[in-house]
Amino acid sequence: MNDSILQAAIEALIFAAEEPISAKIICQSYSEATGGDEPTPEEVANVVESINQQLDDTGRAYRIELWGGGYQFATRKDLAPYLKALFVTDRQRKLSRTLMESLAILAYRQPTTKAELEFVRGVDCDYALRKLLEYGLIDVVGRSEKVGRPLLYGTTDRFLELFGLGTLSDLPNLRELESILDDPAFQKEKARMLMTTAVQLPLQIEQEEQEQESEGPEEETDVQEEER
């Protein structure tokens, strides 16, 4: 297996993919194109690490990130202010406190039912589940074995991608959250840290601001996309 060809092929596949591309698909594509053996996911990861090292060494504005179980090119985080100045507009989507709370609970307790989500929040969650499904941040992942076999909800690969997570294990645990929030330096920013994410929701949802949430009006927070 030619290392230089493998590196070029992996870089080209990741560059051309519209969504994060998994190591499995990269391996299959390489084997199909060359007629040779498939590289292993570990070999793909090593090549990606080598590409990123070259990009870092030459001061390039982008690198390869692992988001939602797949690889994708993205601009460096320290360049976010420049891209924000270019892309952020008044049409930026918003994610309400209701949706953020519901999404956070679901992310940590998944798979979970609507009844379990409502038990934790103490309110009806029809609106929150409907909007999160529309945004593609959650999906139905099965049925519970409990009476009535209610639907089970879980987060999607889009959730991982938009929040810059490789897997669900990258979510901070409760002890880490407590350590962060107890730090005096973060007290004034606590609300922002809990509510602000680095994503932008789909623009086809045109009427969200006009919809009346069943739980009453709540303060909304801007949601900005992970700059790529």
Architecture of the structural domain at 3-75 = Orthogonal Bundle (1.10)
CA dist., res. 164 & res. 189, Å (int): 20
The confidence score (pLDDT) of residue 217 equals 43
Mean pLDDT confidence for 27-44: 93
CA dist., res. 210 & res. 201, Å (int): 16
The confidence score (pLDDT) of residue 72 equals 95
CATH class of 94-222: mainly alpha
Residue 215 and residue 117 in contact, taking contact as beta carbons nearer than 8 Å: no
Q: What is the dihedral of CA 136, 174, 190, 84, to 10 degrees?
A: -40
pLDDT in tens, 112-160: 999 999 999 889 999 999 999 988 999 999 999 988 899 999 999 888 8
Mean pLDDT confidence for 9-32: 94
The confidence score (pLDDT) of residue 94 equals 64
Domain ranges of the chain: 3-75, 94-222
